[in-house]
C-alpha cells in the first residue's frame, strides 16, 4: 500500500509549528521529533482555524 497523503500541507503545518513555538524542533529532528502533546496541539489549532473560517464564511452569507 502507498503512503496516505496528509490533509494539511507542509507549509500549513510549519506555520502552526511556528505559531506554537516548536518549529525549531521540526527543523532539527523532523516531524517525528515533536512531542505527542505538540502534535495534539497542532491538530487542535488547525481545527480552531478551520472553524473560524467557516464562521466567517457563514457571517458573510448572512
Does the pLDDT of residue 1 top 50, yes or no? no
C-alpha angle 13-41-18 in degrees, rounded to nearest 5: 45
CB 16 within 8 A of CB 25: no
Average pLDDT in the chain: 89
The domain segmentation of the chain, as residue ranges, is 10-61
Helix (H, G, I), strand (E, B) or coil at 35: coil
Give the orientation angle of helix 10-20 with respect to helix 36-61, to 10 degrees: 110
More confident residue, 28 or 8: 28
Query: Three cell numbers at 22?
Result: 516548536
pTM of the model: 0.76
What pLDDT does residue 25 have? 97
Does the pLDDT of residue 2 top 70, yes or no? no
Give the pLDDT confidence of 12-42 residue by residue, as tens digits: 999 999 999 999 999 999 999 999 999 999 9
Amino acid at each position: 500500500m502507498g503512503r496516505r497523503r496528509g490533509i494539511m500541507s507542509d507549509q500549513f503545518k510549519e506555520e502552526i509549528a511556528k505559531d506554537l513555538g516548536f518549529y525549531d524542533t521540526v527543523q532539527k529532528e523532523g516531524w517525528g521529533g515533536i512531542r505527542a502533546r505538540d502534535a495534539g496541539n497542532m491538530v487542535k489549532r488547525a481545527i480552531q482555524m478551520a472553524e473560524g473560517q467557516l464562521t466567517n464564511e457563514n457571517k458573510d452569507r448572512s
